[in-house]
Each structure stands twice: as C-alpha cells, then as structure tokens.
Amino acid sequence: MTKTQKPRRLLAFLKWTGISVAALAGLVLVLNLTTGMRLQMTGNFMPKLDFHHEDRHYRAIEAHRDQAEAPALAQAAEPEAVTATPSASSWPYYRGLNMDGRYPEPINTVWPSGGPPELWRIPVGGGYASFVVGD
C-alpha cells in the first residue's frame, strides 16, 4: 500500500460513514413526521421506540371519562363522640403507630397465582406519577 492510498481509503470510509449517518437521520426524521415515532425513556431509563398519537390517546381518555359514572354524593352524617383506639395492625398516624415508619405486623408474602385482584383501571396521560387513594 502506498502513502497516497491510506488517506484515500480513510476519506472514502469517512465519506460513506457520513452518508450512512445522514441517511439514518433522514429516515428517523421521516418516521417521526409520518408515523409519530418517538424515542422515549422508560421508568428505568431504557430507551424505547414509541408510535404515540396524542390526539388518539387523549380522545380515548376523554371517552373513558365520559362513560364513567359520576360518584354518588355522600349524605352528611351526625358526628358521633367515639374515640378511636388504634390496634397494633392499623396505621392511623403519619409513619405508623409509633411514628417511626415501621410496620410491626407480618407482611403477606404469599400472593394468589394471578396476583392481587385488580379493583379499577383508568387510562392516563404521560408521566410516571402514582395515584393516591385515601379515605
């Protein structure tokens, strides 16, 4: 190999690498504009290709909300003069009975084969926030 062949091979390699990168970037741009393809990160920071159509997604959420029944209004009850006595298995205070963040009772580690029963399911938008359910 002569001294002039090495730079030519390097230039040819760089030329085809640049063309390949430009073609790949163009393909990604076309897919993004035509199919809604997006590169998103999952909750554990893994990249994932997503073909998300926001208008279709939000229409599905609105349709679900329109079908849902309005919650029944609770009747106001007369307050009773009852003092609550917490038991060892209850969690009546912030961070537990002793306010130390510990739960003294045994935790159930034997689950049904299909997991716990699903009580409700609601379609939501993007994000990784949790629901808060309370009395």
Q: Residue 16's pLDDT is what?
A: 94
If we measure between CA atoms, which residue out of 84, 105, 107, 86 comes closest to residue 97? 86
> What per-residue confidence (pLDDT) applies to 41?
77
Would you state the pLDDT for residue 82? 65
User: What was the pLDDT predicted at 92?
Assistant: 65
CB 53 within 8 A of CB 36: yes
pLDDT at residue 94, as a whole number: 76
Domain ranges (residues) in the chain: 5-66
List the one residue out of 124, 133, 129 whose CA is nearest residue 58. 124
* Terminal Cα distance for the chain, rounded: 81
The pLDDT of residue 22: 96
Tens of each residue's pLDDT in the chain, 135 residues: 566 677 888 888 999 999 999 999 999 888 888 887 777 777 778 888 877 777 787 888 888 888 877 777 777 777 777 666 666 556 667 777 778 888 777 877 888 888 888 888 877 766 655 666 665
Give the C-alpha distances (Å, rounded to integers) separating 116 from 20, 106, 119, 120. 50, 18, 9, 12
Predicted local confidence at residue 21, as pLDDT: 95
- Written as six digits, the tokens of 19 are 């063309």
SS3 21: helix
Q: pTM for the full model?
A: 0.36
Cβ pair 25, 12 in contact under 8 A: no
| Cβ pair 63, 53 in contact under 8 A | no
Query: In 3-state terms, what secondary structure has residue 41?
Result: strand
For residues 39 and 29, the answer to whether their CB atoms sit within 8 Å is no
